Structure 1
Amino acid sequence: MAVLFLGMNANAARMDMVDVSNNNGYMSTAEYVSMRNEFGVKAVTVKISEGGTYKDPYAASNIANVQAAGMYVNGYHFARYATKAQAIAEADFAGRTAKAAGLPVGAVLATDVESQEANNQSKATNDRNNTAFMKEIQKFGYRADIYTSGSWANNKMTIKGRTGWIAAYPFVVSGKNWYSTNHAWQWSSTAKFRISSGGFDVSQLNSDYYTAGQKSKVKPTNKGAVKANNRKANKHNYKLSNSAKWVKESKTYTLKTAVKLHTSASTSSNAITILPAGTTVKTDRAIIQGGYRWVRQPRFNGYGYLTTGPTSNTLKYVKSGAAHTYYTVKSGDSWWAIAQRNGLSMTTLASQNGKSIYTTIYPGQRLVVR
């Protein structure tokens, strides 16, 4: 494949690609058009699946709305595999799920390798598993790639030249084009867009891999806004990498998978115990160091330390115990109408409120929608 390397503003990283998942909720076509026209986003990579059973509920709507906005669309699968057989099974699951969600043939379907399962494997085992996944995913007509953190690339797994989508931040403005020999560099997880709520993962594309094999109508209509918005995004997202220090973080997390609790904020430190999936952890401090984001858990006899993921700071292994968002039922509302308004299925909306779709709802009643 011919690789096209792109130029870079010496003082800014570009917002060429955004990745979205269920964490971002329902995303409208208008939001993607705004990203395209006002920020210069060319491509969107949509979460498709995770492990062997989870299907992202927003994958189909995200794919359709990205395409309606005239942008390139790709997908990713959050890997949980620890063996070659599991990797092949997850690739089959991801491929079938992507087809059902409408991901077009020729798109990239990357494997997102940053789980505790992968952290527990040797480099050789991860390489074998990743190769098996990518070989299998190509049978569905998709192009393959690996997403991982900069601290894991060529450490926990091999990322060959002119391949790979690498996450590495916080980033210091220095004019350096990070990971210029890889397909993409994810440089922030907190980018803001004008009409979209929350923070987003954004990447600079260093080749045409994530914009190849598809037709697109991407033509930002406000070039001045693109430049200004990118400068603003860089200003607010860059942090000095040499100023890592503990910061206050009084939060409650629930583990998605088993995680080691360490005696200090280092992967080489002794493990106090292994906290099983479902464990609730209350923290008081957080820090980014040694290629990971760490949180500190106060214990009866001191502290325990656990990673929430690579330095991407996106809490891949844990979910926050944040307050719910509620909707107050109005006259004429139905399960279907409320679910559609909030990007949910009726079954999901009802179940997260401890009810069924056959339960009667009344005006003034509050329902959890996030």
Structure 2
Amino acid sequence: MTREIIVDVASYQSDLTVADYKSLGATKAIVKVTESTNYTNPYANREVNRAAEAGYTGFAFYHFGKFGGSVSQAVAEANYFIAQTKAKFNLAPGTLMILDAEETNQTTDAVIAFLDVVRKAGFHTGFYTYKYLLPQFNLEAIKPHMDFFWLADYPLANGAAADRNPDFNYFPSANYVDLWQYTDNLLGYKVDGSISVTDNALKLFNPSGAKVESKPVATPAPKPVTSQTTWTDDLGVKWTAEKGTFTLGSAINLRWGATTTSSLIATLPAGSEVNYDAWAKSGGYIWIRQPRGNGQFGYLVCRDSNGQAFGTFK
């Protein structure tokens, strides 16, 4: 199988730039969204947008559990996690949603209760913990309720910089591991770094490429990205909300940002229809923004500087 580096970020990595994400050499990112029932990461969208601009191809989201051994609190936290993540991102059914369980008072039944709420909502479920905490959980009991197991165990001392090639002589001996978090300081960027261990780990970052074990719920109507009619994104591009469909009159590049140097997603052929939710002026062109899964967006030019359209609108 192909091994890939995956990073995870929280609010304290909010200053990472597009260049930083490129330098980390990862392909996918896991973004913290919530903790308990009273905290939401205010920088989650920024982190997804910058990673996508750097060419990252998949995203998952995680919640830091604070429920201890309370099943009712675990259910409340799971519902909070789902609601807050939906409010920030256009989640596709089957998106990977992970529980971070790293407190010493958490119990197996509370973990299962959390995972079951997430799965019933139509998402893939992930369970994360440290190797030294495994004895407090019944992993065999949790296994039927999780689609993805992410285990942390650091061969190097906490804080020591690690490269993108972990020493598998130190791989944690545990069952079902899909992703091994082997450092909390990848390349000196103070970012947690993990490496995929199974093909399952990679497929789950693409909901269309992985099986949902329970019947998915109906996809809710996408929520507006912002209540404002205009806003400025992380690249300094000012956007105006507008919904419509653009039909390409010729082949046009779809990119991760509204600049001609932004990373390429695909070249769309003539006749393709693109649903968009906003437009902007950037680099001498008029651009439109295409909502994509997991809170990501694609961008393509639709007019030149003289207003000449490269296709038709409706």
What TM-score results when the alignment is normalised by the length of structure 1? 0.47
d(CA) in 2 for partners of 1:70 and 1:169? 24
Q: Determine what percentage of the aligned residue pairs are the same residue.
A: 23
For residues 59-86 of structure 1, give each alpha carbon's deviation from its aligned partner in whole angstroms, at most 9, with x where no partner exists: 1222233334242100110000121110
Q: 1:113 aligns with which of 101, 106, 124?
A: 101
1:71 is aligned to 2:60: no
The corresponding residue for 1:151 is: 132
The corresponding residue for 1:34 is: 23
Does structure 1 retain, via aligned residues, the 8 Å contact 2:28–2:56? no
- Tell me the C-alpha RMSD between the 2 structures: 3.1
d(CA) in 2 for partners of 1:206 and 1:87? 28
The corresponding residue for 1:49 is: 34
Number of residue pairs aligned between Structure 1 and Structure 2: 195
Cα 1:53–1:209 shift into 2, 3 Å: farther
Cα 1:210–1:72 shift into 2, 3 Å: farther
d(CA) in 1 for partners of 2:87 and 2:173? 33
Matches within 5 A, 1:178-217: 178-179=172-173, 181-192=176-187, 198-213=189-204, 215=206
Cα 1:16–1:56 shift into 2, 3 Å: same
Does structure 2 retain, via aligned residues, the 8 Å contact 1:63–1:101? no
Cα 1:174–1:18 shift into 2, 3 Å: closer
For residues 200-224 of structure 1, give each alpha carbon's deviation from its aligned partner in whole angstroms, at most 9, with x where no partner exists: 11011112334325559xxxxxxxx
**What secondary structure is seen at the aligned counterpart in 2 of 1:147?**
strand
Question: Displacement, 1:27?
Answer: 3.3
Q: Which runs of 5+ in 2 are unaligned?
A: 157-165, 208-230, 236-314
Cα 1:174–1:108 shift into 2, 3 Å: closer
The one-letter code sitting in structure 2 at the alignment partner of 1:19 is D
The corresponding residue for 2:87 is: 100
Does structure 1 retain, via aligned residues, the 8 Å contact 2:178–2:198? yes
d(CA) in 1 for partners of 2:90 and 2:22? 19
**What secondary structure is seen at the aligned counterpart in 2 of 1:190?**
coil
The corresponding residue for 1:292 is: none
Does structure 1 retain, via aligned residues, the 8 Å contact 2:28–2:58? yes
Does structure 2 retain, via aligned residues, the 8 Å contact 1:114–1:149? yes
Q: Which runs of 5+ in 1 are unaligned?
A: 1-5, 8-13, 217-335, 342-370
Question: Displacement, 1:163?
Answer: 4.4
**What secondary structure is seen at the aligned counterpart in 1 of 2:86?**
helix
d(CA) in 2 for partners of 1:103 and 1:63? 12
d(CA) in 2 for partners of 1:174 and 1:97? 37
What TM-score results when the alignment is normalised by the length of structure 2? 0.55
The one-letter code sitting in structure 2 at the alignment partner of 1:63 is V
The corresponding residue for 2:7 is: 18
